């Protein structure tokens, strides 16, 4: 329960339209969570996003 709260607070603070340059997407949230506030812009985090995207697609189907 506390971990979810911390996750929400952290992402709410760092994943904003001002920082992303657009309305934040699921990809922005996942990459920031995995790569820290500024590392999410690096291409090395794309592999993690691919895993998250597949998991989201399974959940939605």
Over the stretch 10-48, which tens digit does the pLDDT of each residue have? 999 999 999 989 999 998 998 888 887 776 677 778 888
Beta strands in 2-58 (DSSP E): none
Structural domain count of the chain: 1
Report whether 14 contacts 30 (CB < 8 A). no
Q: pLDDT confidence of 49, banded at 50, 70, 90?
A: confident
Segments forming the whole domain that contains residue 31: 2-60
Report whether 30 contacts 52 (CB < 8 A). yes
Residue 55 dihedral angles phi and psi, to the nearest 5°: -65, -40
User: Taking the CB of residue 48, how many other CB atoms lie within 10 A of it?
Assistant: 15
What are the helix and strand counts (H, E) for the chain? 4, 0
pLDDT score of 56 more than 70:
yes
pTM of the model: 0.73
């Amino acid at each position: 329960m506390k971990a979810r709260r911390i996750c929400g607070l952290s992402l709410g603070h760092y994943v904003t339209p001002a920082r992303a340059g657009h309305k934040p997407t699921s990809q922005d949230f996942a990459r920031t969570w995995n790569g820290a506030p500024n590392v999410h812009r690096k291409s090395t985090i794309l592999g993690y996003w691919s895993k998250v995207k597949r998991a989201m697609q399974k959940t939605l189907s």
